[in-house]
């Protein structure tokens, strides 16, 4: 669960419509129309990435009138389906897969099972990618691919597929370090 207390605001008199803010937004909340950036308040998660990258300082974060609570109710999704999707994606359901929001894999899996089909949709539903946007991106892609979603990264994307699980450890390393019980961990949940 995450409370979003701010929202991005564009000073239209300063915006030059260069679009540099679009690909950096983790929820696709900011778009350029008629050479001016526009923020979808329903999607903005106040990460500040657009404000940080704007060369004209045309974007600032301001307080929302009412805080926005975002959370996927994993309890509304069949637990067996969550377990199965996490297993296919080589993630433990209770494992935090976003270091910035501490979102567990089960919540992101529930978002996918409830219909999220892009990293941006998962980010909008869970708040993931609103911090560093790097660590969790690999896990998001794993979940979507494990669910059979074909991903096509958008232009100028920041979709990083980083191997971040026990299943990505090469067998050579596994054999060299038996005391880490990598093989056993893989059997436990694989």
pLDDT digits (tens, 9 = 90+) for 2-36: 899 999 999 999 999 999 999 999 999 999 999 99
pLDDT exceeds cutoff 70 at 190: no
The distance of Cα 20 from the centroid of its chain, to the nearest Å, equals 19
What confidence score (pLDDT) does residue 141 get? 93
Number of H helices, E strands in the chain: 7, 4
pLDDT exceeds cutoff 80 at 152: yes
Interacting residues of 41 by C-beta distance below 8 A, sequence separation 6+: 7, 29, 64
User: Would you list the domain boundaries of the chain?
Assistant: 2-70, 74-184
**What CA–CA distance (Å, rounded) separates 8 from 64?**
9
Lowest mean pLDDT among 90-94, 135-139, 161-165: 161-165
Q: How far is CA 5 from each of CA 10, 30, 32, 56, rounded to the nearest angstrom?
A: 17, 17, 24, 24
Tell which CATH classification among 1.10.3720.10, 3.30.70.260, 3.30.70.20, 3.40.140.10 matches the domain 2-70.
Answer: 3.30.70.20
What confidence score (pLDDT) does residue 183 get? 80
As given in the structure block, the two tokens for residue 75 are: 């309890």
What rounded mean pLDDT belongs to the chain?
90
Interacting residues of 161 by C-beta distance below 8 A, sequence separation 6+: 137, 138, 141
Among candidates 64, 53, 79, 85, which has minimal Cα distance to 9?
A: 64
What confidence score (pLDDT) does residue 165 get? 67
pLDDT exceeds cutoff 90 at 164: no
What confidence score (pLDDT) does residue 156 get? 75
How does residue 163 score in pLDDT terms, banded at 50, 70 and 90?
A: low
């Amino acid at each position: 669960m995450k409370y979003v207390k701010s929202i991005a605001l564009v000073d239209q008199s300063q915006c030059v419509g260069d679009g540099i803010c679009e690909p950096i937004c983790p929820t696709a909340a900011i778009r350029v129309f008629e050479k001016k950036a526009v923020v979808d308040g329903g999607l903005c998660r106040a990460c500040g990435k657009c404000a940080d990258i704007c060369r004209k300082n045309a974007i600032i974060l301001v307080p929302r009138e009412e805080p926005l609570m975002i959370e996927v109710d994993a309890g509304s999704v069949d637990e067996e389906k969550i377990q199965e999707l996490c297993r296919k994606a080589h993630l433990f359901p209770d494992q935090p897969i976003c270091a910035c929001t501490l979102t567990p894999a089960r919540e992101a899996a529930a978002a996918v099972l409830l219909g999220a089909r892009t990293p941006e949709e998962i980010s909008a539903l869970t708040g993931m990618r609103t911090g560093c946007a790097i660590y969790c991106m690999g896990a998001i892609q794993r979940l979507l691919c494990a669910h059979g979603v074909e991903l096509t990264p958008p232009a100028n994307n920041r979709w990083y597929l980083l191997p971040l699980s026990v299943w990505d450890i090469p067998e050579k390393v596994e054999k060299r370090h038996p005391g880490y019980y990598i093989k056993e961990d893989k059997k436990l949940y694989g």
